[in-house]
Amino acid sequence: MAFFGRIPLLAILFILSGVPARSADLLDKWIAAQANLRTWTADIVQTRSFKTLAQPLVADGKVWIAVPDRFRWELGQPPQTIALRQAAELMIVYPRLKRVEKYPLLSAHPGPWQDALALLEASFPRSRTNMEAKFQILALTETNGVATLALQPRSGAARKFIARLDISFREDDFTPVGTALTFSDGSSLRNEFYHPVVNPPLDPQLFEVKMEPDFTTVEPLKQ
């Protein structure tokens, strides 16, 4: 769960003390439901809001996820930005610019963007213990069959960039409805998911980069 564009790369979780018993039970069920998830796809409507802009920026897209460490995000039609995660590397492709950016995921010195990348995986938590080590719960609300979990990164470096994350999921089947990020500068980003499909077959090549000969590949963290 994330945004991609010509902005710094971003690139979920909790202490249950103080959380009502019903909420704690709902969180446990949500996490348990992820054990049966192998793949997931959905259409996206992404909305980015900035204090300096009167109107938000809206883009359509598509996401494919293969648990535990593969995803593909596309924004724009035709795609203007493509993000591909593999086990050891994240690649951001800008087709119009003929540019590919590579970011290592196994760095011995992880930075804030790698902390933020964990947010993309948080909508499909595999372990409560792991999530509690990285995130703290701020609130859990329920409206019309949809639960929204408000979270804060534990990492001080991540909090300098991301102030809050909200994850919304359906209470009946625990599938994601949307995510919202509030950044420290007051800007925000929301992803709304539509037409989700659980456990569809996905071609492994979907998560590979297909570049034309005239594409330029760069590694920004090494510059």
pLDDT for position 223 = 61
* In the block, residue with structure tokens 């569809």: 200
Query: Which residues, including other chains, have CB under 8 Å from residue 5's CB and lie 6 or more apart?
Result: 48, 75, 81
CATH number of the domain residue 151 falls in: 2.50.20.10
Whether the full predicted model's pTM is greater than 0.95, yes or no, is no
Q: Please report whether residue 1 resides in a domain.
A: no
Q: Please report whether residue 152 resides in a domain.
A: yes
pLDDT for position 39 = 93
Domain tally, the chain: 1
Q: Please report whether residue 86 resides in a domain.
A: yes
Q: Which helix (H) or strand (E) holds 24?
A: helix 21-33
Side chain identity at residue 129, one-letter code: T
Tokens representing 134 are 């990285």
Distance between CA atoms of residues 74 and 57, nearest Å: 16
Mean pLDDT for each 10-residue chunk of the chain (223 residues)? 40 35 78 88 93 90 90 90 86 91 69 54 73 81 91 83 89 91 89 94 91 87 70
Q: Please report whether residue 34 resides in a domain.
A: yes
Give the distance, in angstroms, between the CA of residue 199 and the centroid of all CA atoms in the same chain.
18
CB distance 173 to 151 below 8 Å: no
Q: Please report whether residue 211 resides in a domain.
A: no
β-pairing, 216-218 with 99-104? parallel
Structural domain for 31, as ranges: 21-196
pLDDT for position 114 = 56
Q: Please report whether residue 4 resides in a domain.
A: no
